[in-house]
Structure formats: structure tokens, C-alpha cells
Amino acid sequence: MNNWFSWIFALLLIFDVSLKYHLNLRQKNSILRFFNAVPDAFSSQISLPEHQKAGRYSQAKLKLARVELFFGAIILLFFTFGGGINLLGELTSFNNHLLSSQVALIISYSILSSILFLPFSYYSTFKIEQEFGFNKMTLKLFIIDLIKGTAIALLIGTPLLYLVLWLMQNLGNSWWLWVWLVLVAFNLLILLIYPTFIAPLFNKFSPLEDLELKEKIEQLLQECGFKSQGIFVMDGSKRSSHGNAYFTGLGASKRIVFFDTLLKQLTHAEIIAVLAHELGHFKHKHIIKQMIISFGITLIGLYIFSLFISHEWFYAGMNVGIINNASGLLLLFIITNLISLPLAPLSSFMSRKNEFEADDFAKEHSNKEDLINGLVKLYRDNASTLTPDDLYVKFYYSHPPASTRIANLEK
């Protein structure tokens, strides 16, 4: 490690692992501290056994995350200081086909990384989710999903990689701006086609058949000025018993999707209240604002990256002997992951602020007691912990903790 950037990279990795491990332990200890008592705000709706089940469920996921954290650090060291990227570069090198070689390097890195982390996904699904009664997925469906996801990623990602690397190779110092424009257009296109072309490859989407509920929903949509392509029910129960609802799509392709599990968990009034919350995000333009911020951060990141992509110290600092745009992009991805956690509290804070605004909107257009009851049922049925650590919340929670959120609704 005679390169100054090697020390910076090593310190970033140590800091990242240490901070994540520290936050994980804080969350673990917070859950254990309140394991034998249901918070007063929930004592009438959530029993002690249900509260303790949520605690054990969270502990199991935290334990797996700790193992995955250290495994990920070892894999990262293998790809960098261990020469893994250099080895992949040699294996994917095609004579007289520089662009194809670079695309093959990135694809092989992505596939190999996915294979290495596949056991964690398997254990999470068939051990943790199964043990706590949430998993409905079969091994056959797990494999089919994996094959479909990989095929779609290759089908969509390969042309995108060719275009991005071609722009970097042929457009001189301004490549970062053109790549940014391509990435923005690509993301918007995915948002547009996801509901009608991609999502149906994994799940069945059926029009809502409950006419009484549909009439109530349409009345709420009209009141809020929201137009969508339709109201659909997704067969989420074939993979998990967790309930959820979401908006998806862009422009005319917008649609409202309910998990079939959610419709079984909540009453009509509670479903309307949860939907009113989601409409609050739409009325406050939260999704658009988040997209603009994301695109802005991407633009700044690509510009900064363009300043040192051609410098040898950047590659030598991580023991990568292949100096080209593909290896540069891989190292950018690695560095971005290492510096993203310290920035997480800001994005998490903004996300939680959006949730409060959406809740306030829901209080204006539905009964707040229905929303509270619906949220408590979801916390209970999804085994969400009610006693998270404050610092862990600041880094990882995109939604306010249960107690804070209920208190805000009751104001």
C-alpha cells in the first residue's frame, strides 16, 4: 500500500464497516431493552407475544446483516486489493473488441457478485421469512424469479452499457453530461414501462373486484384530482404474507396497486385512509422532487468522477491494473457505496418529512383513527419493531418510527 489513495480507500472501508456494525448493535440492544414490554401507545392493539415476535424477527435480520456486512468487506477486498477485477479483465478480454471487452467486464462483475451474495437471499427467504410465517415462495419460484430478473437485467442493461461506454470513449471531456442525459432518459423510460411490461412478468395484476371499495376509492381519487390507468390487485401472497400498497408508473401509465394480502388485513375505511396517505405523496409532488434530487446528485457525481477517471493513482490505489472506462465505472460504484452511508441521515430525514406531510394530507381526506388503526395492523402483521434505536432510525428509516408517527397523527 505505497499509494496514498490505497490508505484512503482502506480507511473508508474500515469506517463504513465499523459504522454499520455499530448501528446494527445499537438497534439490537434497543430491541432487547424493550423486549418484555409493549409500548403504551400500542398495548391495546398489540399483544406481548406479537411484540416479542417482532423483536425476534428483527434480531434475526440484524444477525444476518452482520454476517453479510463482513462477508461483503472480504469480497470487496478480493475484487480490489486481491486482484479480482484484474482477473475478470483478463478473462473477458477480446482481441480487437475493446468496447465488448469492457461491457463483458462489468457484466461478469455484476453476475459474480450476485452469485456470491445469493446464499444470503436464500437464507433470508427460506430460513428467516419461513420461520416467522411470512414466506410463501417455493424454491421453483425463487429460481424462476432469479432467471427472469437476470434475463431482464441483461436485456435492458447490456445496450445501456454499450451506449454509456461508447459516449465515454468518443465524446471527450463532455462525456459526463451526455451520460447523465442518457441515464435520466433511461430512468424515465423504466418508470413509464415498468407497470405494463416489466411488473406483469413477475406478478399477476387484476382489476379490483370489490365494487363497494372501488366506488369509495374513485370518490377519493376524484376529490384529490388524481387520474390513473386503473386500480389493481397484485398477487403478493404467492411470495409473502407481508401487505403493502403503492403507486407506480409515470404520466398516463400511473396505476394504484394493492397487495391482495393488504386487502385481507384492513377494513375498507382503513384502506381508504392508507390510500389517502399515498395520495398525499402525489399532491405534494414528493416523487418528482426525489427524482430531481437524485438526478442532481448523479450529475454532480459524474462530473467529479470525470476529473480523475484518467488518473493512474485512482486505479493503482485499489490495485486495479486495467485502466479503462469499464474498470473506472466499477471503482466509482465501489467508492460511492463506501461514502453513501454518512450522507444517509439527510436523505432519510427528507423522506421521513415527506411521510409526515402525507399523513397530514390523509388526516384532511380521511378519518385519522382509521389510518392509525390501519398502520398499527400493518406494524403488527408485518412484525415491525416498535422500539428502534434513535440513531439507527436517523440512518436507515425512510418512514418515521411507529410511536413518532402515531403521535403526529394524534395531534
Q: Which residues are catalytic?
A: 278, 359
Residues 6+ apart with CB under 8 A from 64: 120, 123, 124, 128
Q: What is the dihedral of CA 109, 111, 112, 116, to 10 degrees?
A: 130
Residues 6+ apart with CB under 8 A from 380: 45, 46, 50, 54
Q: Which of 307, 329, 335 is nearest to 5 (CA)?
A: 335
Residues 6+ apart with CB under 8 A from 372: 406, 409, 410
Helix (H, G, I), strand (E, B) or coil at 207: strand
First to last CA, the chain: 57
In angstroms, the CA 63 to CA 72 distance is 14
Helix (H, G, I), strand (E, B) or coil at 28: helix
Question: Which cell numbers in the block locate residue 168?
Answer: 465515454
Q: At what angle do helices 48-79 and 4-33 cross, to 10 degrees?
A: 170
